[in-house]
A and B are shown apart, each in its own frame.
Chain A
């Protein structure tokens, strides 16, 4: 009897522990293992940092040669002092993992199409399909190619391996209790870090910045609207302002000549719907002002890359000091070195180069086995790659991807099958071998313009506009990437994959890329606009070019003299919109103001009074925004289709057409029998917009005015989209303003460096904080400065002792 009682009691205890030690999916969402997770000795409570959280004074790290000192300053930026470069990168890996392990692993899993492994296939297999998409675009293939080159270079190999060693030393020191919160929530554990993951991370950045294309959409537009209309709606060049570099008739080199017959125009409709073009709010600003225009006489360099503003923050600030380097700036968690920053001699920054780096080639397979495809009249063999996708709580999913010499064929009868029997191969420049790690290694140590140029010679992807300034007074801009020499019109539409001549015949020699040094105007700048003046001897095209921020920046810089750091802070936070200035008066002129109701009158008055500044408490901006976002899709209703994908013309060209083509057939709304006019659309969208603002006020319980910051609602979101781990902030700005803060995108790092002879003076902030732990003050400790337009004075040290009272705490890493 006693034994029965014992067994029953034991069984209940064991079952209880089992149930509480296991993660369950309840109603479609995963709940963490409750016993394990809520245990205050090991569970999430251990992720709550105390107010005076520090690290141990000494830590023993395997793989180090000599001790490394890390000074953490008041905003938790580590200043790493190593006695050799091997230790430097090992320590960078260790300290980055310490603050950002979950994020760096999750981002590389996302890049490699491995999210199903962590969270399951998702609703309607959405997560699994995302993973399949990543594999089918050849993301791992791209990373492996980048890795091949990395492995072949002793220096790059050392840097990537030491960085990995540092991350792994940290991972090995962890038990469940120390795991980042997200691992505990989703109930999994970190795996070993490899240099291939660093390559994946950089390729994932390339995907964000350089994978945009609209070849299929343009091919469809050609079939539906004809060549003439395509040229009108999607011109190669929008003549709206300064290119990044203007050296009209002064390019001074003989361009490469290739056979320049333009490719034949395709005539087909591609039945894949819902293809998206890149988010036009992803962009960036950078500029450098020559000493001749600054108050101190030293150049000032500024950079604010605009990306998804997520948490844990995209960037991780760090100072790296060794006998060969002393550099500070931001790194990407997962990649060694500093990506944007400065050292004693120079400063540099990046914005995205707008260029078409993606091509689609129509493929003719021999039969539906897809073993062979036609090339130059013969059947060439394909390569089949079986992608193995582990899915949590389900069997493994196998997906076969067919590769041609052009690249993978992402869409077939097993994936986005609606296009049925037609196949297209995907060619992306970032599929090629590349060695950007060497660029950053060398930039981090560059002493002058010559070093900067040599560093960039290693760089092929993702193409960027590299701004530069040096203590010796040079300023420069170079658009660096691997760019195919294109025939006029090449790359806009689908290409013929059965002819090898359709492919790139040559690449622009790096010394013929668009670049400039010390231009007469006294500054260089880029904001994702058109790269070069019309006399640049190569054909250039891209998905779109920025039209407004670049002009605002150049207008201000041109008119400025005796520039100070404070002026530059003001410019980075400038909320003026040239788009609003160019379109709002036109819209108001064409608005029939008779018969307005009270709400419409209110909106009309607010709009008439607007100064085109998207400041946080503007009451006019919400009305304009609601008006424009309703008008634009009303004009281009033809571009929305369930059968095929099409792309919207740019905002700049839309405004241009509204002003110059009052009778464009597109003003007519297809789905109605009546014939609509532009004036009618303007009036209708005005009413819809005003009502939207009114409805928003009602929903939010706002009795007074709709303020722009509230209406826009800038939201810094956690990577898992967990609402409780994100922040809503009050912040002005707009994608078309220099302060390009939209709802979920914006300046992910604002940096200003005065490159002075007695040491750089640097100021910066970003929307988040150094720690990836939501239980740390440093998870969001820079957010308030970011949203109020303030900057931290960065501490740039020559030796650890110089930190003085700015030091939070110091930790020594000793060899184990």
Chain B
């Protein structure tokens, strides 16, 4: 339960941070939650939270897309598939979020 709450906290904090700050603010948001609300699986929580946030945001944009730009970008990046591009997007965000959360959590005594 605490794990799920931590994920939710990271999603909300990162979402707010992204409104005002560049993309790397997701790491700060995750670190902040990791520090203030630590669990036993901070990296995983950070990873899942940011991966979900980025995936859902990307999917929402893509659902309303007037032209298939994501497919074109997938070709430009030689990924060649939109689903794979979405996975990569989520994974990269997740990785940064995971390490962010981990960094914040290890600073905390308990």
Contacts and interface: CB of A to CB of B under 8 A. Distances in A.
Contact of A6 (B62, B70, B103): B103
A17 B24 contact: yes
Nearest to B99: A13
B72 A17 contact: no
Contact of B106 (A2, A32, A775): A2
Which of B85, B89, B95, B107 neighbours the largest number of chain A CB atoms within 10 Å of its CB? Answer: B89
A369 B103 CA distance: 63
7 contacts: A13-B27, A38-B88, A40-B57, A50-B61, A724-B73, A725-B72, A725-B76
Nearest to A44: B73
Contact of A36 (B19, B22, B64): B22
Given A21-B24, A31-B77, A48-B69, A16 B96 contact: yes
Contacts of A53: 66
Contact of A45 (B67, B70, B92, B103): B70
Interface in A773-791: 774-777, 779
A41 B25 CA distance: 11
Contacts of B62: 45, 48
Nearest to A32: B77
Given A13-B27, A49-B66, A722 B76 contact: yes
Contact of A51 (B66, B77, B99): B66
Contacts of A774: 67, 69, 72
B108 to A, nearest CB: 9
Contacts of A44: 69, 73
B99 A41 contact: no
A375 B48 CA distance: 77
Contacts of B96: 13, 16-17, 20, 35
Contacts of A20: 92, 96
Contacts of B92: 20, 34-35, 38
B99 A723 contact: no
B93 A38 contact: yes
A478 B94 CA distance: 65
Interface of B: 18-19, 22-24, 26-27, 31, 54, 57-58, 61-62, 64-67, 69-70, 72-73, 75-77, 85, 88-89, 92-93, 95-96, 99-100, 102-103, 106-107, 109
A220 to B, nearest CB: 43
A10 interface: yes
A9 B99 contact: yes
Contacts of A10: 103
A779 B65 CA distance: 13
Interface string A24-39: 0000000110111011
Given A35-B92, A50-B65, A45 B58 contact: yes
A732 to B, nearest CB: 26
Contact of A42 (B22, B65, B72): B22
Which of A41, A48, A51, A724 neighbours the largest number of chain B CB atoms within 10 Å of its CB? Answer: A41
Contacts of B54: 38-40
B69 to A, nearest CB: 4
Contacts of A603: none
A542 B22 CA distance: 56
B66 A9 contact: no
Nearest to A1: B106
A610 B88 CA distance: 53
Interface of B, helix, strand, loop or mixed by DSSP: helix
Given A5-B106, A16-B95, A185 B76 contact: yes
A13 B103 CA distance: 8
A43 interface: yes
Contact of B23 (A2, A35, A47, A185): A35
Contacts of A648: none
Interface string A710-731: 0000000000001111000000
A12 interface: yes
Nearest to A18: B24
Contacts of A106: none
Contact of B18 (A17, A21, A38, A42): A42
Interface of A, helix, strand, loop or mixed by DSSP: helix
Nearest to B107: A6
A17 B19 CA distance: 18
Interface in A50-89: 50-51, 53
Contacts of B72: 724-725, 774
A176 interface: yes
A51 B89 contact: no
B64 A50 contact: yes
A43 B85 CA distance: 13
Given A9-B103, A50-B66, A779-B67, A38 B27 contact: no
B23 A45 contact: no
B8 to A, nearest CB: 18
Contacts of B103: 6, 9-10, 12-13
Given A5-B106, A6-B107, A16-B95, A38 B22 contact: no
Interface in A740-788: 774-777, 779
Nearest to A42: B23
B65 A17 contact: no
A185 B13 CA distance: 28
A51 B92 CA distance: 28
Contacts of A43: 23
B22 to A, nearest CB: 7
Contacts of A16: 95-96, 99
A636 B61 CA distance: 57
B19 to A, nearest CB: 8
A751 B20 CA distance: 46
Contacts of A2: 106-107, 109
Contacts of B89: 38, 40, 45
Nearest to A29: B78
Given A2-B106, A45-B61, 8 more contacts: A13-B96, A38-B88, A38-B89, A39-B26, A40-B57, A40-B58, A41-B18, A44-B73
Which of A20, A44, A176, A777 neighbours the largest number of chain B CB atoms within 10 Å of its CB? Answer: A44
Nearest to B73: A44
Interface in A375-414: none
A775 B76 CA distance: 14
Contacts of A45: 57-58, 61-62, 70, 89
B23 A39 contact: yes
B23 A36 contact: yes
B67 to A, nearest CB: 6
A21 B27 CA distance: 13
A776 B67 contact: yes
A6 B106 contact: yes
A9 B106 contact: yes
A771 B69 CA distance: 14
A437 to B, nearest CB: 35
A469 to B, nearest CB: 38
B97 to A, nearest CB: 10
B106 A724 contact: no
A13 B64 CA distance: 33
